[in-house]
Amino acid sequence: MKRIITATVQNRSGVLNRVTGLLSKRQFNIESISVGRTETEGVSKMTFVVDVSDEQKLEQLTKQLNKQIDVLKVSDITDKAIVARELAMVKVISNPQLRSEIQGIIEPFRSTIIDVSKDSMTVQVTGKSDKVDALIELLRPYGIKELARTGLTAFPRGNQPQVTDMKSYSLLK
């Protein structure tokens, strides 16, 4: 099962190494990691998408992360109401004739063209991972020259549904 885990960490040298090292040492499958600063000076936030086999493994993962001295807080936000975004840039083979066709495809995704050349164009898309996946699949037939994804970043919404009407749903399959 895929889970979204966030960790706030003290922004000290070596912390990224320590965290990724422990994940690989304990054989956790990391799909993506994104790291960046937060509203608090000296504190960074890491968002991991991981694939774990069962609850026990998941519990180990959060406990091992928590155990690190520079890790302040670990949350599994998969089943919360969250906002989650990923950014992808896709360089697609195109020519002037194809350009408007591709534009038609990317429009519903609120995706934008950020670079154009004689034989290619670069498209930027932001959204949940499944939206990004969907657009990439639609562009694939044209020929993807280059693709870069930032990995997911996420946090809980300001309003969390009451426990009673909270259905367990997942952003990720």
Partner 1 sequence: MKLEAKPEVKAQQHVKTGADLLVEALIDEGVDTLFGYPGGAVLPVYDAIYRAKEAFTHILPRHEQGAVHAAEGYARISGRPGVVVGTSGPGATNLVTGIADAMMDSLPLVVFTGQVAKSVIGTDAFQESDVMGITTPITKHNYQIQNIEELPRIVKEAFHIASTGRPGPVVVDIPKDISSTVSEAKVETEFHLPGYQPNFKPNPLQINKLIDAISQAEKPVILAGSGVIHAEGSEELRKFACTHQIPVTNTLLGLGSFPGNDDLSLGMAGMHGRYAANMALYECDLLINIGARFDDRLTGNLKYFAPKAKVAHIDIDPAEIGKNVPTQIPIVADAKASLAELNRQNLTMKDHQEWLDLIQKNKDDYPLWHEQPEEKLVPQWLLQKVHEYTNGDAVVTTDVGQHQMWAAQYYTFNKPNRWVTSGGLGTMGYGFPAAIGAQLAKPEGTVVAIVGDGGFQMTMQELSILQERGLPVKIIIVNNEALGMVRQWQESFYEKRYSESLMGVQPDFIKLADSYNLKGYKIETQKQVEAILPDILANDEPAVVDCRVLQEENVYPMIAPGKGMHEMIGVRPT
- 71 belongs to the binding site for partner 1 (CB under 8 A): yes
Interface stretch with partner 1, choices 57-65, 103-111, 126-134, 139-147 (CB under 8 A)? 57-65
Binding to partner 1 by residue 68, rule CB under 8 A? Answer: yes
> Would you say 158 and 54 are in contact if contact means Cβ atoms under 8 Å apart?
no
Q: First vs last Cα of the chain: how many Å apart?
A: 8
Cβ count within 10 A of residue 25 = 9
Of 155, 173, 165, 168, residue with least CA distance to 82:
155
Please choose, out of 30-38, 64-72, 131-139, 163-171, the segment that lies near partner 1 by the rule CB under 8 A. 64-72
Q: How far is the CB of 25 from partner 1 (least distance, A)?
A: 5
Number of residues in contact with partner 1 under rule CB under 8 A: 21
Q: Phi, psi at residue 162, to the nearest 5°?
A: -60, 155
Contact residue for partner 1 among 27, 39, 41, 56 (CB under 8 A): 56
CA-atom Rg of the chain in angstroms: 19
Q: Out of 22, 30, 82, 138, which residue is the one contacting partner 1 (CB under 8 A)? A: 22
Q: How far is the CB of 105 from partner 1 (least distance, A)?
A: 45
- Six-digit token pair at 103? 């534009």
